[in-house]
Every structure is written in structure tokens, then in C-alpha cells.
Amino acid sequence: MYIKINLLPQEFRPRKSLVKFDIKLAIIILIVISGLSLGGYYVYLLRSFSNFQDKKQDKTEELDILRLQLKSLVDLQIKLKCIEIVYRQQRKVFCQIRA
């Protein structure tokens, strides 16, 4: 066991600091900083993922609205074709009556 004895007078002795800087302290600080940065990155990823999910939900709702509009448009086209067929038949009958 090694005991360090300082025989200098009190004024010349080195001041004691609150924290002694050594390799263990540096490693602990490094681990704490890396843990905090990793946690911050995890929170950032969670927020961006939730934003992505919200955008995906909005796009899905927009796609559903477009599908309904397209279905109604197709239904209108079918009705228009039916009306056109009936109109042609009536016109043909009217032309036959006139002739």
C-alpha cells in the first residue's frame, strides 16, 4: 500500500478539486453522453414514425374518397349510356313513324 505524504507548507500544497479527473470518470461521462444521445435519437425516430403514420392515414382517407368519387363517376357513365341507348331507340322509332 502506498501513502502519499506532502511535506510542503499549506500555501504551496496543490489545491484539492471536487472531482479528480481520471480514466474512469472519462469513461462514465462518455457512457452517459452516448446513452443520452441514443435516447434522443430514439425519441426522434418515434416522432418521425408517428408523423409517417399520420401522413399514411391521411393518404388512405384521401384514397378512399377518390375511390368513392370514381365509383359514382362510373355509375353516372353507365346511366348515361343507358339513357343514350334509350334515346337512340326512341329516335329510330320516331324516324320509322315519320317515314
Q: How many helices (H) and strands (E) does the chain have?
A: 1, 0
Using one digit for the tens of pLDDT, what is the confidence trace for 2-48?
777 777 787 777 777 766 678 888 899 999 999 999 999 999 999 99
User: What type of residue is 89?
Assistant: Q
As a whole number of angstroms, the distance between CA 24 and CA 37 comes to 20
Q: Which residues does 2 contact at the CB level (< 8 Å), separation at least 6?
A: none
Q: Model confidence over 39-87: pLDDT tens digits?
A: 999 999 999 988 888 888 888 888 899 999 999 999 999 999 999 999 9
Polymer length of the chain = 99
Q: Show Cβ contacts of residue 13 under 8 Å, excluding neighbours closer than 6 positions.
A: 6
